Amino acid sequence: MKSALRARGGRSYEIDMTEGPLLGSLIRFSVPLMLSGILQLLFNAADMVVVGRFAGSHALAAVGSTGALNQLIINLFMGLSIGVNVLVARYYGANQQEDLSKTVHTSILTAAVCGVFLIFVGISLSRPLLEMMETPEDVIDHSVLYMRIIFAGMPALMLYNFGAAVLRAVGDTQRPLYFLLTAGVINVLLNLFFVIVLQIGVAGVAIATVISQCVSAVLVLLCLMRSEGVYRLELKQLRIYKAKLIEMTKIGIPAGIQSCMFSISNVLIQSTVNSFGSIAMAGSTAAGNIEGFIFTCSDSFTQAAQSFVGQNYGAKKMERVSRIMWICTGLVTGATLIAGIGIYLAAEPLLGIYASDPEVVAYGKARMLVVCVPYFTGGLMNIFVGGMRGLGSSLIPMINSIFSVCILRMVWIYTVFALFPTWETLFLSYPVTWSICAVSGLGLYLLAKKRAVKSLKA
């Protein structure tokens, strides 16, 4: 039965998540995801290095100051791709071919509509929102320009992420890696051309990013259109199936709201970082970019938990769900501890790649001390979120994250940081809130699993 879902003739990129040993399959699934994230970060780092080295620290600060705000606007819509991933995984595991096909076609058209809408949102709101964040006068014009160009490429970004969500739900994490590698190389080459040769600074970095996103979107769409599996995309069948959109939004909207709330707290932190000046902003931008390498290790196992749990829940194999979660918990703890400690020990040379100013390096290293080493707490938090989403529960982890992370992080800034207004105190809010959310998340996951078992027996 499952073979009917797989591509016929030629290499199969999918992973059967419902049969066989779990550890090897989880690693096979996670490693390409991890490499994809690392490549993306390397290409983003190339953006930062090129703009910082050849356009100056003000340009670096301008690019970095928009990151949290961009994510705040995008994340609500990106949450829908999580709904796509969970539904496709569930239908694939349950061998519900018609439902799977309808979900794929609904998701691609939804991605295109959301992307077009985001163009208008980002372009019109960029300046007023950056002004609300108290972006310094010597940075804001460059920040607005960068943000407006980036949002012009939103349809491509949405299409790639929704298409990749479909592929990853059936276990194909390899081809999205190849597409990202191709687009990333193009991005780096265009960065060098636009910034060094044409000398158009921040605008050049943004244009290169948009072009590379278009390349990755085209590649993932062609992959889906040429697939011989049931998740094949046929343009003439593109339509929004109401029932699938509702199911998608039940999972995706809470996930998107959760991400938005994280972004709101990060915007608040970025606004506080801005109050330290452009040098501190540059140091925080560089450190945050490096910390992303730890996040991508964590996120690869979160996505693995989400997809594997989703398929096995669809196949009614709850005993495998428990094993998946404990294996992912061990993997994420070990990977993030090693990555976090290793990156902090190499903080100075790593930060030196981004900027030669010793003050920028000092600010970056101070941030990394309190964020990188305890990053495993954030990894544990996300694993339980992934497990709950795989079981179809997205509202509960949203509420838990909003309270345990977002609200408490804001409270921290207005209480603890207000009493001890230091750079280190500001960023200590991350591991403290991660730890609280991880503990509560474990309890909530166990409750969600208990309800899922009852629903299957009903």
377 confidence band (pLDDT: 50, 70, 90): very high
pLDDT band at 388 (very low <50, low <70, confident <90, very high): very high
Give the chain's length. Answer: 458
> Tokens for 88?
């496709």
Within 10 angstroms of residue 243's Cβ, the number of other Cβ atoms is 11
Q: By percentage, how much of the chain surpasses pLDDT 70?
A: 93
| CA atoms 398, 404, 405, 409: torsion sign | positive
Residue pair 35/29 in contact (Cβ under 8 Å)? The answer is no
Question: Rounded to 5 degrees, what are φ and ψ at 446?
Answer: -60, -35
Higher pLDDT, 295 or 356: 295
**pLDDT at residue number 277:** 83
In the predicted model, is pLDDT for residue 69 greater than 90?
no
Banded model confidence at residue 320, pLDDT cuts 50, 70, 90: very high
Whether the per-residue pLDDT at 216 is higher than 50: the answer is: yes
Q: CA–CA separation, 297 vs 183, rounded Å?
A: 21
d(CA 453, CA 442): 17
- Count of Cβ atoms closer than 10 Å to residue 291 Cβ: 24
pLDDT at residue 445 in the model = 93
Is 302 a residue whose pLDDT tops 70? Answer: yes
What span, in angstroms and rounded, lies between the C-alpha atoms of 302 and 82? 11
Least confident of 43-52, 104-113, 180-189, 209-218: 43-52
Decide which of 256 and 221 is more confident. Answer: 221
Residue 349: is its pLDDT beyond 60?
A: yes
Residues in contact with 80: Cβ distance below 8 Å, sequence separation at least 6, in sequence order:
107, 110, 111, 114, 162, 248, 249, 252, 253, 256
For residue 403, what are its two tokens?
Answer: 């309270």
- Predicted TM-score (pTM) of the model is 0.79
Residue entry with tokens 């964020």: 371
The confidence score (pLDDT) of residue 68 equals: 65
| Whole-number pLDDT of residue 54 | 63
Cα distances from 151 to residues 49, 82, 127, 209, 213, in angstroms, run 22, 21, 13, 10, 11
Task: List the single range of 126-140, 325-339, 342-356, 428-442 with lowest mean pLDDT.
Answer: 126-140
CA 32, 38, 41, 45 dihedral sign is negative
- What φ, ψ does residue 425 adopt, rounded to 5°? -65, -40
Q: What pLDDT is attached to residue 458?
A: 63
Q: Mean pLDDT throughout 139-151?
A: 85
What single-letter amino acid sits at 106? T
Please, is 450 exposed, middle or buried when counting C-beta atoms within 10 Å of its C-beta (0-12, 13-18, 19+)?
A: exposed
The rounded distance, in Å, linking the Cα atoms of 33 and 295 is 12
Whether residue 255 has pLDDT greater than 50: yes
